[in-house]
Structure 1
Amino acid sequence: MSQNALVGMESSAVTVLTRAVELDTSSRFQESLICYQEGIQLLLDVLKTTKDDSKKPHYRQKIKGYMERAEQIKIRLNQEKEEGKYHEQIKITENAKGFSFEKLFKPYINEALTEVWVEDPYIRHTHQLYNLLRFCEMLLKSPCEVKTIHLLTSHDGASTTQQTSALTEIQQSLKTHGITLTIDYSTTIHDREIRFNNGWIIKIGRGLDYFKKPQSRFSIGYCDYDLRECHETTVDVFHVKHTKQT
């Protein structure tokens, strides 16, 4: 490996571990654990690759410290999950960026995830339907084997034809990827909630519709949601042993 590549890897490790510490300090422990694990792996790769023996003790010391902290967080999280006390709150401020579905949901997705429930009354208008589609795409690209997605939403009083047609298209497209989408409607649904059958429950104040409308179809942030400004909202994350099935 070239020196430039090694420097780049070390820089990436520093960035990820700095973010881990920030999340840790903010009590966003599940997210911080993911960053610690990623950063530690990067540092291990640096340690294996570097030819400068004088730097190796420094890397080993840093890795040891981060591994100890990650283990402490893991024990704490497991205990809170076991006791049903896990609750994490994420504040998305007005105009904030960097909260794509990939970034927001990544800490809660793993190989055990096979079934998802989406309860959101506002999967009606075109941009909201695209939000659902992007959420499904995110699941497809994630390290999980989702086989079923259940959607509970409300009818669009103005144009049920567009809503029904779009949801049917999403349903058919997911089927080609081996995923079943069930669609149900409620006239009383109000709360917004996403449940994973690995125990995670994510409640977003604005549901999936927390992104601001881009200035145009050709403006930055139209395609990449990490670059899209957000509305202010609160995300509450819980963990339970048994996720409600229906």
Structure 2
Amino acid sequence: MSSKSGTLTGVEESAVKILKRAIELEGAANYQPALVCYQEGIDLLLDVLKGCKDASKRKHFREKVEEYMTRAEQVKDAVQKLKESGKYHEQMKIEENSTGFGYSKVFGPYVDEYITEVHVEDAYIRSFHQINNFVRFCEMLIMRCKNVTNIHLTTTEDSNANQQKDGLHSIAQSLLPYGITLRVEYSTTLHDREITFSNGWIIKIGRGLDYFKKADKFSIGFHEMDLRKCHATTIDVFHKKHTRDR
């Protein structure tokens, strides 16, 4: 997309960047993240359109909005057909030392107000930093899933079981004021790492929630996970009409 004058404003540049990313994601069959990018890009174009006084430019931007809305609708249709057939599957790869993969970015396209329960199977919610990762995941759920009431965690027991159980108990207590109950189950045979949302999305991450590299206490990326370097891992996303009940 290009401006009729040849010079892009800051908002237009952002729209172009996001919409290019949407097209790339669509081409890679990462449809749900593509839809998020299309919506963000279209919203930015609408902002540009509102502030545009030139008639020819307004026409140009209206055409672009219509073009990307059509593409987004086509992606929605493709997603719906795959979901109905039970064949939805997309895969994302996080490269070694890459950044920009905080939990909101990774899980954001799949979480919404329709989620009431979340099931987390991750054998490694045991050490201090892994429990801290789980806190950040729960914070993301609070911010993005206003109707979630139950979180189920299945993990393995750490050698320092008291520290692990104290940490998870603290998380459970801090979730109660938000109307969320955390239930923890310990398994001796758990190997899979899978997160199931009650809206039908199932996300499998090779390294579970622990795909971030260690960041020094007073370094960039210690608090903002989008800025922290990652270990290489693969994310597989599936969808089922009816998720399991436990």
State TM-score, norm by structure 2.
Answer: 0.94
1:241 Cα deviation from its structure 2 partner: 0.3
1:10 Cα deviation from its structure 2 partner: 2.3
Match of 1:208 in 2: 209
Match of 2:140 in 1: 138
1:34 Cα deviation from its structure 2 partner: 1.1
1:26 Cα deviation from its structure 2 partner: 1.7
Count of aligned residue pairs for this structure pair: 239
* Deviations, residues 25-62 of structure 1 (Å, cap 9, x unaligned): 22211100111012112211211221122201110111
Identity of aligned residues (%): 58
One-letter identity of the residue aligned with 1:91: K
For the residue of structure 2 that corresponds to 1:99, the secondary structure is coil
Unpaired segments of 5 or more residues in structure 2? Answer: 1-7
Map 1:42-57 → 2, pairs under 5 A? 42-57=44-59
1:16 Cα deviation from its structure 2 partner: 1.6
2:152 touches 2:183 (CA, 8 Å); kept in 1?
yes
Alpha carbons of structure 1 residues 14 and 144: separation in structure 2 relative to 1, 3 Å? farther
Match of 1:3 in 2: none
User: Which range moved further: 181-190 or 135-144?
Assistant: 135-144
Match of 2:97 in 1: 95
CA separation in 2, counterparts of 1:53 and 1:126? 59
For the residue of structure 1 that corresponds to 2:56, the secondary structure is coil
CA separation in 2, counterparts of 1:94 and 1:12? 26
State TM-score, norm by structure 1.
Answer: 0.94
2:134 touches 2:209 (CA, 8 Å); kept in 1?
yes
1:109 touches 1:144 (CA, 8 Å); kept in 2?
no
Map 1:65-214 → 2, pairs under 5 A? 65-156=67-158, 158-214=159-215
Runs of 4+ in 1 over 3 A off after TM superposition: none
1:93 touches 1:233 (CA, 8 Å); kept in 2?
yes
For the residue of structure 2 that corresponds to 1:54, the secondary structure is helix
C-alpha RMSD of the superposition: 1.2
For the residue of structure 1 that corresponds to 2:32, the secondary structure is helix
For the residue of structure 1 that corresponds to 2:55, the secondary structure is coil
1:154 Cα deviation from its structure 2 partner: 0.7
1:143 Cα deviation from its structure 2 partner: 4.7
Unpaired segments of 5 or more residues in structure 1? Answer: 1-5
CA separation in 2, counterparts of 1:19 and 1:146? 30
CA separation in 2, counterparts of 1:179 and 1:15? 37
* Deviations, residues 148-179 of structure 1 (Å, cap 9, x unaligned): 100011100x2001000000000000011111
